[in-house]
Structure 1
Amino acid sequence: MHDYKIRIYHEGKVDFYGYGSDSKAQAEIPGDYILSKMPVFYNPVMKLNRDIAVYTVRTYQILTKKSLRICEPLTGCGVRGIRLAMEVNGADSIIINDINPMAYDIANRNVEMHNLRDKIQVFNEDANLLLSKNAFPMKRFDVIDIDPFGSPAPFLDSALRAISKNNGLLCLTATDMAPLCGVHTNACIRKYGGVPLRTTYCHEIAVRLLISCSVLTASKRDIALAPILSHSTDHYIRVYLKTISGAKNADEMVKQIGYLVHCNHCHFRQLKPGIANSLSSVCPSCGDDARIAGPLWCGKIQSREFIAQVLENSKADGDKRAIRLLSLILEEADAPATYYDLHSICDQLNLPCPALEKIIHPLKEKGYSVTQTHFKNNSIRTNAPVSEILKTIRKAQ
């Protein structure tokens, strides 16, 4: 049993109060302590998530030139909202909220510590109620950041009522990876409205399921959501979506929702846009049984132009790990959907896995596009057919 005490942490440009254990492992290993049992939720492992959030909102503000109205309805100790106030020019009106009275108290202490009463209001309400109270044209937020312990799905509809219908920024974290990656299929269907798959690239499927759920929820309100940045890191996935108003724009986004056809036997995979799609359970490549995931997002999950600007705006004071991650995401932004786990393929072939360059270079020489992916080490995105990848692996032995 851990003895949690209030201690001072440092992150970005901010010192703040949070609960923690005296154990060194508690601050370094996410699975070593029970976050949900802490008096006030704070996870130091999510620093990278918050770093990228700061750089992304900073870029969004530069592009829109707005005085931002921001809401973080599940704030915990308040560090994310305080960092946005301190590190993003133009983040002038921020609401942070937590239903936990102890979180409300400690968030207030952190706001006072930095003399931010002119920028930040702290509330102690149910998150959906708080968002619903701001679902009016003159009160809506430019940025809403949903970072729950688990799934963001229960907060999506309220968030979409409370966000600016055009050129707003919706930021979502999901930590319930077991449902999204196919361990608990029924839970994923219930929360996200789609069937997951346990595959070597399940984390990308998870991102696509979350985007699909968000796009369909937004379309009910004649709002289109366009993914501009997505990443899978540690124990969570994260997506940033831009709002575009209008039923026709929403219709165009819904057209990009469909299904994934996957074959375990030959590694064939294909995205098929269209919710009312005719799908075969036979692999078109080898004739073996095919598996189906979805409905899920079949379009792009990154915007190269936006990510390039986020990366540029992070270089002055950016965390090195965040910059490396953004650089890799930028490299793969326009690459084909889904990726190939070379370790998994080599295990199936009963061959040792060659160095990554021994696969990438020959495929590029043959004219194929090939990039690494941030989703998984020793994995590649390529437009080369599976047969060519297998041939290259065998030649590399």
Structure 2
Amino acid sequence: MTVKKEYTEGRTTFLSADVDHYSGDKKQPTTSLPVFYNPRMQLNRDLSVLFLTAYMEKYAVEMVCEPLTGSGVRALRYLNECPGDFYAKMCDANPLAVETAQRNVETLGFGDRAEVIHGDAKLLLMTESRGKRFDFVDIDPFGTPAPYLSAAIQSISPKGGLLAVTATDMPVLCGVYPKVSLRRYGGFSARTPFTHEIAIRLLNGFIYSVAGSNDCSMEPLAVLSTDHYIRTWVRIEANRTEANRQAGELGIIRYCLGCMHSDILPLSPKVQSVDFDHKMEGCTGPIRVAGPLWIGDLFKESYLNDTIKILESGDTEDYHRKALDVLEKMVEESVLTNRPYIDIHALCDLHNLAPPKNQIIIDKLKEQGFAVTRTHFKPTAIRTDATVEKVTKIIAEHNAR
């Protein structure tokens, strides 16, 4: 018999397997849970509720699908906390998860707005969308989302729909297993101080490639990097003309281990012959290359601002304490995602400098006319159009005082 526990997230109360009971000494969820639920993903789900609400202000959403539902918490929160009377199809291959999700649906009174199906996620996406395509698909697997993306994109309405994708196979995406990254996501990962941004760009690049193979375009709306996972929200639409244009948003990122300079190059037949400018005199450090990956925008600023308004107009206590701060940092950095962020602590370690507070560096760069912002990716990092050499000089001058 499954030991269950009642949880509350946002404005939604539901049952799931007791994480503390089954996790033992590990103190965190594992795949051995009879019904999977990860409390550490609350920020992910909070932002997902807010992002879907913001999306619904501009686009009609009638059919939602969560093909890897577990306890059903994600779809349940959409039903309970987002406006409208859309219908949700939930699926899981685990019969205990289906039983738990169905009980939660009935307890919350959504029996006429939700259907819980026992079966394979990919099969559900392809078969359950035959009558009516989905307006929103949420892929939140344990590990890589790669096997589900083709079916997910094909299940979305050709008029356009929202696709949210989580990836937790971070060693693959962060450069530990670059060949596995190439196999799963179509590009090499690399170990760099901004490795989580590379991970996001690899995921978005793969989504674009799968969408493009189905004559669809992909518009990034937001990305999230925190804890042990990354997540992206994109709008998929049947538009081969736009998809052709977006081919120019694929490229590579190069990074020097010696001076920490990085550059972004669009894919072209001559990309390998472009010389690397180290930006630091005498540096001949080895170069790491990541990609092909997405080199275009990661955020849509207006979408983020709409989301913040929704958050501030309601009861902020319903959401994770970090939600507003993360959204505000996303807005800031949305105008400077044409180059990777700079990790100040990594830069200081390289040059044997004491890292000052980020705000000191930000103020100094602004005084000298550079654009600079915080980033939600890492508390010790900034985004700026200044070179790493300039940032290093500012830190060294501050240390010399």
**TM-score, normalized by length of structure 2?**
0.93
- Selected match of 1:19 from 17, 20, 26: 17
Q: Does 2:313 correspond to 1:329?
A: no
Question: Would the aligned equivalents of 2:157 and 2:237 in 1 still touch at CA under 8 Å?
Answer: no
Q: Which runs of 5+ in 1 are unaligned?
A: none
Deviations 1:73-109 (A, max 9, x none): 0000001111100111114210011010000000011
Question: Would the aligned equivalents of 1:193 and 1:295 in 2 still touch at CA under 8 Å?
Answer: yes
Question: C-alpha separation between the residues in 2 aligned to 1:91 and 1:199?
Answer: 45
Structure-to-structure mapping, 1:274-289, within 5 angstroms: 274=267, 276-280=269-273, 283-285=276-278, 286-289=283-286
Q: Which residue of 2 aligns with 1:240?
A: 233
Deviation at 1:353, TM superposition (A): 0.9
Deviation at 1:317, TM superposition (A): 2.8
- Structure 1 stretch 347-356 or stretch 174-183: which is displaced more? 347-356
Q: Which amino acid aligns with 2:394?
A: T
Q: Does 2:50 correspond to 1:55?
A: yes
Question: C-alpha separation between the residues in 2 aligned to 1:277 and 1:54?
Answer: 43
Q: Does 2:315 correspond to 1:317?
A: yes
Question: C-alpha separation between the residues in 1 aligned to 2:174 and 2:89?
Answer: 33
Q: Which residue of 1 aligns with 2:100?
A: 106
Q: Which amino acid aligns with 1:360?
A: I
Q: Which residue of 1 aligns with 2:217?
A: 224
Q: Which residue of 2 aligns with 1:307?
A: 304
- Structure 1 stretch 102-111 or stretch 34-43: which is displaced more? 34-43
Q: Does 2:146 correspond to 1:144?
A: no
Q: Which residue of 1 aligns with 2:362?
A: 360
Q: Which amino acid aligns with 1:75?
A: T
- Selected match of 1:40 from 24, 27, 35: 35
Deviations 1:147-195 (A, max 9, x none): 0000111000000110012331000000110000001112211110100
Q: Does 2:92 correspond to 1:95?
A: no
Q: Which residue of 1 aligns with 2:65?
A: 71
Q: Which residue of 2 aligns with 1:119?
A: 113
Question: C-alpha separation between the residues in 2 aligned to 1:157 and 1:72?
Answer: 15
* Number of residue equivalences: 390
Question: C-alpha separation between the residues in 1 aligned to 2:9 and 2:132?
Answer: 30
Equivalent pairs: percent with the same residue? 37
Question: Would the aligned equivalents of 1:225 and 1:244 in 2 still touch at CA under 8 Å?
Answer: yes
Question: Would the aligned equivalents of 2:342 and 2:388 in 1 still touch at CA under 8 Å?
Answer: no
SS of alignment partner, residue 265 of structure 1: coil
Deviation at 1:208, TM superposition (A): 0.1
Question: C-alpha separation between the residues in 2 aligned to 1:375 and 1:388?
Answer: 22
- Selected match of 2:165 from 158, 169, 172: 172
Q: Which residue of 2 aligns with 1:83?
A: 77
Deviations 1:331-351 (A, max 9, x none): 111114211111111111112
Deviation at 1:14, TM superposition (A): 1.1
Question: C-alpha separation between the residues in 2 aligned to 1:16 and 1:275?
Answer: 51
- Structure 1 stretch 379-388 or stretch 269-278: which is displaced more? 269-278
Deviation at 1:37, TM superposition (A): 0.6
Question: C-alpha separation between the residues in 2 aligned to 1:13 and 1:148?
Answer: 24
- Selected match of 2:124 from 103, 127, 130: 130
Question: Would the aligned equivalents of 1:84 and 1:91 in 2 still touch at CA under 8 Å?
Answer: no
Q: Which residue of 2 aligns with 1:252?
A: 245
Question: C-alpha separation between the residues in 2 aligned to 1:344 and 1:71?
Answer: 41
- Selected match of 2:201 from 193, 199, 208: 208
Question: Would the aligned equivalents of 1:339 and 1:382 in 2 still touch at CA under 8 Å?
Answer: yes
Question: Would the aligned equivalents of 1:282 and 1:290 in 2 still touch at CA under 8 Å?
Answer: no
Q: Does 2:290 correspond to 1:290?
A: no
SS of alignment partner, residue 344 of structure 1: helix
Moved over 6 A (4+): none
Taking a change above 3 Å as real, the CA distance of residues 22 and 150 of structure 1, as seen in their structure-2 partners, is closer
Taking a change above 3 Å as real, the CA distance of residues 74 and 276 of structure 1, as seen in their structure-2 partners, is farther
Q: Which amino acid aligns with 1:92?
A: F
Question: Would the aligned equivalents of 2:23 and 2:30 in 1 still touch at CA under 8 Å?
Answer: no
- Structure 1 stretch 343-352 or stretch 205-214: which is displaced more? 343-352
Question: Would the aligned equivalents of 2:153 and 2:236 in 1 still touch at CA under 8 Å?
Answer: no
Question: C-alpha separation between the residues in 2 aligned to 1:271 and 1:345?
Answer: 19
Q: Does 2:156 correspond to 1:163?
A: yes
Question: C-alpha separation between the residues in 2 aligned to 1:338 and 1:298?
Answer: 10
Question: Would the aligned equivalents of 1:281 and 1:292 in 2 still touch at CA under 8 Å?
Answer: no
Question: C-alpha separation between the residues in 2 aligned to 1:306 and 1:392?
Answer: 34
Question: Would the aligned equivalents of 1:282 and 1:288 in 2 still touch at CA under 8 Å?
Answer: no
Taking a change above 3 Å as real, the CA distance of residues 4 and 35 of structure 1, as seen in their structure-2 partners, is farther
Taking a change above 3 Å as real, the CA distance of residues 386 and 22 of structure 1, as seen in their structure-2 partners, is closer
Q: Which has the higher contact order (CA 8 A, sep 6+)?
A: 2
SS of alignment partner, residue 104 of structure 2: helix
SS of alignment partner, residue 144 of structure 2: coil
SS of alignment partner, residue 95 of structure 1: strand
Deviation at 1:5, TM superposition (A): 1.7
Q: Which residue of 1 aligns with 2:187?
A: 194
**TM-score, normalized by length of structure 1?**
0.94
SS of alignment partner, residue 64 of structure 2: strand
Question: Would the aligned equivalents of 2:189 and 2:199 in 1 still touch at CA under 8 Å?
Answer: yes
Q: Which residue of 2 aligns with 1:8?
A: 6
Cα root mean square deviation, aligned? 1.9
